[in-house]
Amino acid sequence: QEQLVQSGAEVKKPGASVKVSCKASGYTFTNYDINWVRQAPGQGLEWMGWMNPNSGNTGYAQKFQGRITFTRNTSINTAYMEVSSLRSEDTAVYYCAREKFELGAAIVRWFDPWGQGTLVTVAS
């Protein structure tokens, strides 16, 4: 079945960087954009940006510009998200999700499936 499997939980100190992986299986990895979404404890979902695994093109939410980097390795169907200069407010569960869309009277976009999530804890 189509699925995304993420790397395990991380504990980092303020100022450090973290890199989370997202391995796709069950579909052609390069055919769909991968998006990254995070969820701080007790908070709602927050979109971080997207990456096209075929071209490597990326787009970042303004809030994260300059502090996050999306990359991929197409030989192993894996996408990566790196966050630098971590601070305590970055403590959250980070999800990758495949974007699908339909073109019609309007563009219909949705995320499915999602990875299981990676908890990143930033603490001194």
Partner 1 sequence: QSVLTQPPSASGTPGQRVTISCSGSSSNIGRNTVNWYQQLPGTAPKLLIYGNDQRPSGVPDRFSGSKSGTSASLAISGLQSEDEADYSCAAWDDSLNGPVFGGGTKLTVL
Chain positions contacting partner 1, by CB under 8 A: 35, 37, 43-47, 49-50, 59, 61-62, 95, 97, 102, 106-117
Q: How far is the CB of 94 from partner 1 (least distance, A)?
A: 11
Cβ proximity to partner 1: between 33 and 90 the closer is 33
Burial 114-124 (b: 16+ CB within 10 A, else e): bbebbebebee
Q: Is 90 exposed, middle or buried (0-12, 13-18, 19+ CB in 10 A)?
A: buried
Rounded to 5 degrees, φ, ψ at 14 are: -55, 135
Task: Please give the Cα distance from 110 to 101 (Å, whole number).
Answer: 6
Measured from the CB of residue 75, what is the shortest distance to partner 1 in angstroms? 26
In whole angstroms, the minimum distance from the beta carbon of 115 to partner 1 comes to 7
Asked if 124 and 62 count as a contact pair (C-beta separation under 8 A), the reply is no
Shortest distance in whole angstroms from residue 1 CB to partner 1: 11
Closest to partner 1 by CB, 45 or 54: 45
Nearer to partner 1, 12 or 117 (CB): 117
